[in-house]
């Protein structure tokens, strides 16, 4: 076995090629990790909006809250059914209405959709994770609204003391900013339920009903009770399942698109590593001949060159992974494919992503280094010494 210090010395002596190869590998790992973190970040943004003991009720056939319409009289029926199976906490349920408004973006030209959620006065008692971080709560029955911290200041009129038109000639005023542990709710505007109904002509209707059950185990009984009443025409699902579906399409698109780009980068980096290692083999013929003359077998030479390639891969992979971890503090916005509205989320690293990124780096190291290592192992000592 060729001593490892021999490989270390070669990498140090050839600084330029070492840094160039490591940088290429680091770039691939960085792109791959960021793509994975984007998909995870979007999933977690939706996942944080869900509570394990909350069920959501929609009109049958609706894929999103905006597509659903439930008569107000049905809300009380659903609440009664929830209390029948076990929903004793107050408030046991909230009926909400969801619409989108078109607002001017700040910093770029153009407009984009923003979700407006019509909520009841006790919404923060139902969603206990929601906190007002600046300003105050809106007064009931007024044209005052709360803005999620994720979209605050990203659109014209979305900051404390500012106004925007909920509908033409129907201005509302921002009086507070709320947070919800980074959930998708932070990409919404919350207004009084009756104000939204009146502005959009949806009097007597709700988009969805959320019910907080006493236990997760009560869900199946509640679902059976609601859906067995065919006159209601409603469908029930766990809130976690609902939000998983809401972000699934966009998250999958982000992950696969980023991974595809990373694969192209990986192919380029692998070819570059192969060319670099081949050049090194050509320039180190005498060294290789000396190693063979000293009695090192072809297998030892092959492993030695593969080890150099793997050291480069691991070093580049670690640099790329660490750089990707820094993206944790970056937030970005994009259109959610289900609602066609802006959602703010951040890159979300995880141990699994780091492990997958390092495996990719090792694979690239093996892919780029095997042929040059094989070529080095087949060098004949006598011909190499003559050269």
The predicted-structure confidence for 83-103, as pLDDT tens digits, reads as follows 888 888 888 889 999 999 999
Pairing of strands 54-59, 70-71: unpaired
Beta strands in the chain (DSSP E): 54-59, 70-71, 93-104, 111-119, 131-135, 144-148, 163-167, 170-179, 188-192, 205-206, 208-212, 234-238, 331-335, 342-346
| 180 plus 267 within the same structural domain | no
| 194 plus 273 within the same structural domain | no
Query: Is pLDDT above 90 for 208?
Result: yes
Residue-level pLDDT at 290: 65
CA dist 36 and 28 (Å) reads 12
Closest by CA to 338, choosing from 69, 144, 68, is 68
| 174 plus 290 within the same structural domain | no
Q: When comparing pLDDT for 340 and 115, which is higher?
A: 115
| 37 plus 77 within the same structural domain | no
Domains held by the chain: number: 2
Is 296 inside any structural domain? Answer: yes
Strand partners, 187: none
Mean pLDDT of the chain: 83
CB 165 within 8 A of CB 102: no
* Cβ count within 10 A of residue 103: 21
| 303 plus 339 within the same structural domain | yes
Cα Rg of the chain (Å, integer): 29
Is 239 inside any structural domain? Answer: no
pLDDT tens digit sequence for 24-49: 788 888 888 888 888 888 888 888 88
Identify the domain containing residue 24 by its residue range: 4-47+246-386
| 13 plus 137 within the same structural domain | no
| 190 plus 308 within the same structural domain | no
Is 238 inside any structural domain? Answer: no
Calculate ∠ Cα 192-117-251, nearest 5°.
Answer: 165
Is 226 inside any structural domain? Answer: yes
Closest by CA to 328, choosing from 308, 313, 350, is 350
User: Residue 98: left if φ>0, alpha if ψ -120 to 50, beta else—which one?
Assistant: beta
Is 240 inside any structural domain? Answer: no
Give the residue from 232, 260, 287 where a domain finishes.
Answer: 232
Classify burial at 383, counting beta carbons within 10 Å of its beta carbon; exposed 0-12, middle 13-18, buried 19 or more: exposed
Is 55 inside any structural domain? Answer: no
Is 208 inside any structural domain? Answer: yes
Is 52 inside any structural domain? Answer: no
Strand partners, 116: 99, 189
pLDDT tens digit sequence for 101-141: 999 988 777 788 899 999 999 899 999 899 999 999 999 88
* Cβ count within 10 A of residue 189: 27
Residue-level pLDDT at 300: 75
First to last CA, the chain: 24
| 219 plus 70 within the same structural domain | yes
Give the residue from 203, 232, 261 where a domain finishes.
Answer: 232
| 172 plus 263 within the same structural domain | no
| 85 plus 204 within the same structural domain | yes
In the Cβ-directed half-sphere of 128, how many Cα atoms lie within 13 Å?
A: 8
Residue-level pLDDT at 332: 78
| 10 plus 83 within the same structural domain | no
| 211 plus 285 within the same structural domain | no
Give the residue from 207, 232, 257 where a domain finishes.
Answer: 232
């Amino acid at each position: 076995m060729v001593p490892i210090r021999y490989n270390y010395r070669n990498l140090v002596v050839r600084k330029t090629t070492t840094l160039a190869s490591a940088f290429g590998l680091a770039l691939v790992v960085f792109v791959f990790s960021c793509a994975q973190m984007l998909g995870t970040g979007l999933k977690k943004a939706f996942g944080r909006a869900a509570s394990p003991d909350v069920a959501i009720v929609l009109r049958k056939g609706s894929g999103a809250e905006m597509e659903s319409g439930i008569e107000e009289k049905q809300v009380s029926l659903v609440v009664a059914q929830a209390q029948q199976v076990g929903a004793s906490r107050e408030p046991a349920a909230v009926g909400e209405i969801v619409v989108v408004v078109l607002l001017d973006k700040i910093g770029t030209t153009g407009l984009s959709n923003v979700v407006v959620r019509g909520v009841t006065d006790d919404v923060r008692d139902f969603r206990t994770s929601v906190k007002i971080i600046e300003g105050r709560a809106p007064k009931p029955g007024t044209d005052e609204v709360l803005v999620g911290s994720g979209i605050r200041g990203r659109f014209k009129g979305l900051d404390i003391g500012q106004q925007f038109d909920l509908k033409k000639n129907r201005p509302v005023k921002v009086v507070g900013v709320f947070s919800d542990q980074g959930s998708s709710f932070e990409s919404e505007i919350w207004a009084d339920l009756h104000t939204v109904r009146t502005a959009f002509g949806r009097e007597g209707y709700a988009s969805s009903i959320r019910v907080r059950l006493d236990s997760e185990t009560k869900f199946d009984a509640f679902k059976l009770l609601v859906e067995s009443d065919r006159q209601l025409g409603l469908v029930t699902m766990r809130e976690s399942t609902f939000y998983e579906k809401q972000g699934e399409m966009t998250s999958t698109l982000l992950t696969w698109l980023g991974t595809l780009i990373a694969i192209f980068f990986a192919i380029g980096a692998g070819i570059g590593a192969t060319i670099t290692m081949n050049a090194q083999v050509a320039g180190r013929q005498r060294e290789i001949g000396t190693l063979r003359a000293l009695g090192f077998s072809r297998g030892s030479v092959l492993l030695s060159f593969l080890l150099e390639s793997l050291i480069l891969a691991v070093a580049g992979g670690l640099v790329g992974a660490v750089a990707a971890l820094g993206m944790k503090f970056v937030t970005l916005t994009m259109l959610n494919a289900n609602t066609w509205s802006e959602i703010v989320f951040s890159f979300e690293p995880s141990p699994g992503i780091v492990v997958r990124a390092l495996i990719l780096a090792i694979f690239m190291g093996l892919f780029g280094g095997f042929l040059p290592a094989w070529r080095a192992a087949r060098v004949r000592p006598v011909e190499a010494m003559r050269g």
